[in-house]
């Protein structure tokens, strides 16, 4: 059996991969997910499907028929780990020179969203502290929220003997597949690595 771990890092955070349990936020931000589990599941499906697409394409290029490709997938498992960002409050396309209105102490973090991207967070107790300036409490998205880790396990006799270079090529093509998908702009700056 071969087990390879990989990471995709440095992507911009789409609202499709964050969650909020605040009803007002769910109405304000189409695409934001209602639970931590749904955000984790979304990221897992996204990456797993990209890996499968790349392996299927590789199998077809090698001349494998559907039965052979299906057999290879039967010898393969992909597990994804992702820590989604929670947005208790949001400022959507807000003027951050003026601060964020409606900020309440118990509703942290406040996600600052531009278009379909969560660009930064504010953990201040008041909206006045969530404006650009000397006392700003605006921070970048934590690195763990822009990192997806994965593990590919296989018992396929060919894949078991793949070099690290071949695995890296697979993960690079997986990332390229993401840059062609519906969240393409979010993955353009991402980097993939195989451990």
Domain holding 162: CATH number?
3.30.70
Burial-class residue 164 by CB neighbours within 10 Å (0-12, 13-18, 19+): exposed
Residue 19 lies in a domain: yes
In total, how many domains does the chain have? 1
Residue 11 lies in a domain: yes
User: Phi and psi at residue 7, in whole multiples of 5°?
Assistant: -135, 145
| pTM metric for this prediction | 0.88
- Which pLDDT band holds residue 1 (cuts at 50, 70, 90)? very high
Is residue 189 pLDDT above 90, yes or no?
yes
Contacts 24+ apart (CB under 8 A), 38-43: 39/82, 39/84, 40/82, 40/84, 42/16, 42/17, 43/17, 43/80, 43/82, 43/84, 43/148
Is residue 116 pLDDT above 90, yes or no?
yes
Residue 114 lies in a domain: no
92 or 74, greater pLDDT: 74
Is residue 11 pLDDT above 60, yes or no?
yes
């Amino acid at each position: 059996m071969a087990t390879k771990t990989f990471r995709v890092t440095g992507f911009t955070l789409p609202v499709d991969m964050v969650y909020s349990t605040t009803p007002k936020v769910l109405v304000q931000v189409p695409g934001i997910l209602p639970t931590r589990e749904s955000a984790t599941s979304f990221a897992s499906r996204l990456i797993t499907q990209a890996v499968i697409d790349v392996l299927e394409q590789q199998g077809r290029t090698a001349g494998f028929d559907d039965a052979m490709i299906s057999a290879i997938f039967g010898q393969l498992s992909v597990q994804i780990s992702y820590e989604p960002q929670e947005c208790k409050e949001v400022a959507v396309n807000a003027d951050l020179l003026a601060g964020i209105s409606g900020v309440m102490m118990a509703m942290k973090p406040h996600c600052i969203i531009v278009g379909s991207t969560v660009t930064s967070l504010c953990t201040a107790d008041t909206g006045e502290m969530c404006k650009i300036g000397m006392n700003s409490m605006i921070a970048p998205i934590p690195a763990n929220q822009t990192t997806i880790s994965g593990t590919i396990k296989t018992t396929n006799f060919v894949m078991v003997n793949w070099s690290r270079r071949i695995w890296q090529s697979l993960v690079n093509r997986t990332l390229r597949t993401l840059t062609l998908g519906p969240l393409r702009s979010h993955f353009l700056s991402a980097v993939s690595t195989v451990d």
